[in-house]
Structure 1
Amino acid sequence: MQEPVPVTVYQSSFAACARSLDPSLLKTLRISESAVLVMEAFVSLCRALTNDSDPRPWQERVEDCFSGVTEERLTDLFQAFVDECESEQFQRWAERFKNQNYSSFAERLLGAAMYRRFVDALKQDGAVVALAVRRGVRALTPFVVAWNDAVKISSQKQLKDVQPANLITVNAVEMLVSLDDFLGEKVLASLPMEVTSAKSSDLATLAPEGVDSLVASFRSMVAEASVKRVERRNSPLVRKIRGARDALRFSEDGVSQAANSLIELLDRIMRESFKPAEVLDWVDANLPGGKDLTHEVQGQIRPTKRAEALCFVYGGDPILPREVTENDDGQGPDFLHDVIAIALVSIRNQLQKMKHADHGTPEEKSQLLGVLSALEGALMLGLTIGSLSAGSEASEELPAA
């Protein structure tokens, strides 16, 4: 049997149990060494990420998790992971374990006591992984709320060419809540969560008062995260967001003033990120011949708002080739970047209309607040993935759920 990879003190209960067995027994049970290696590494990683007694940032925990592993061993581990995934061994092994005949065979082979230890070890590892998955899902909540707000502002006509278009119709918040409910009711409830660092909040329902209440509570988090990212890019521009909110509260001409402030914010943050000439160069390099990306102004070729938005969301990075699938021809911007860019342009168009249509009605204020939520969501997403693409702020803390 291959020498085990010493991951860290965060050991998998299953791996520890498997290593105590004779290699011939593992072979008879059709549990490969690569499966043990991958389980050991994956569970160790999940334990490190969910260890509440460790105050260090998650990046340091991950680094420490594999600090004792040589480059050669990491290569072996990666290859083991590839082998297991390509051959779908994990899925086959899980199916075998659920099969009553296989379970009875394993119990006879190992003996009742060892078999029970084996099952308990799997459940303990499952609890660790389930906790990490649930926390990961919940950490996405502010981003999903931001996505929903940004997408809703765009018309079906604007989104008709986005691939895969069917994903646009999905309510991402409802889907996330359904996934979280499934994890709680079907997965966590059947596992020994007491062996993990799970808190009462980890085990509680994410949206006990409904999806609308959840969205409302997370919008303030999205707004705060958006302001922080705008401040990093250009701190004076933060006044535009605060000024827009103040105008809506205190000014008789509040909708018009707020719309003007937000248009200036959007224009300046995109143009100060990438000058028009840089956007044109980016378009020529990545989307030659693309529609609605350039126009002529007084005899000069200028980038359109769509071109500026795409370059901004990509952080000036190249559009990488994609695999052609049934729902994606592999051409042009990818789904995520495309939708956010469309949202930014749509938001500006809506603000432009509202700038000239201020009657001071509650309906107009409500409409502008909706556009503001969409703008904050789109900016949070755009600045986050743009910074990650450009390699800056890549280790930034994401908003906590």
Structure 2
Amino acid sequence: MELTTIQLLWFSVVAVLWIGYLALEGFDFGVAMLLKILPKTSKERRVALSSIGPHWDGNEVWVLTAGGATFAAFPEWYATMFSGMYLALMLILVCLIVRVCAIEWRKMIDTDAWRNGWDTAHTVSAWVVSFLWGVAFANLVQGMHIEVGHYDDGAFVPVAPQDAASSLADNYHYLTGGFFSLITPFTVLGGIVTVSLFLSHGAIFLALKTAGDLRKRARAFAKKSILVSTSATAAWALWAQFAHTNNAISIVPLALCALSLVTAAAFLYRDREGAAFMAHFVAIALAVAFIWFTIFPDALKSSVDSRYSLTLAQAAATGNTQTIMSAAALVFVPIVLGYTVWSYKVFSRRISVEHIPDETPGLDPKKVRSFENA
């Protein structure tokens, strides 16, 4: 079964959607992870939250679109991956829900305990989600315990590896290794990489978007964290390149990613936060591109036997489905990109504690049931 041009196109579109999500949500998660570290006062925490306030929910749409595009364009990729990683993805979903509540509800009650509680929940959820995304993508690169077969009376019956491709009319790809097969030294390092990259991304964003003491602390933190994140990324990417890649050409996005990270660090040490942020954004985009290069032409690699791997051609929807999706994408993707660029331009001004009012929003906890404002 050969890969068609439109299947390759949609493989690339899914990659672009994940690039948009990780490069944009990355600074949201980074700011949240730093919420209990860099801001020293209640007003500074409000400044940090205000910096991502206009963007975080729009950034979250990218992952919904990436999931929807995968479901429509490559339904078996979606089914195998989401069913195999069910527990991890459910934990990510719960953490994302907690984040929404933390952002939207922290201002509802006027007590420090209420706000601190939600800030802690926000921070913890960001750390967990950042780590789990790294583990998930590292599993795509490493390969998972995937076999082809069917279930008979609750027991999995695999087909022989040499018969896997010809038996797909009656059999499917399954992740049979269980949840703990997803946890290996390589995937744990992948989780550390995303955490460290997002911390640097968030710190650079805070340095770019804020003023005053918070900006200075964010810039100082970013200068230290980018050295750690670059080192961790280099170690994981070289491991992936020499042990797990399907294609030697993946060295190209890897080299460009390394160059972008070094460039981001150089700009940061010259106190050019805007240029540093853009270079770091490009580095994360190239890291995602590197992952896509390493797995191509597979959608999901099998660590049991390469003949059990789910290829893009096997996972793809019909040509008509992908053609209709392409027509819709040509109309709506430019609109979404245009709106995203416009929104960042509108909210490009720096924020400082001087912009935060002294009064705190929320209800008096003693009058919540009577719906009276404090």
TM range (shorter): under 0.3
TM-score (norm: length of structure 2): 0.24
TM-score by length of 1: 0.23
Larger Rg: 1
Higher RCO structure (Cα 8 Å, ≥6 apart): 2
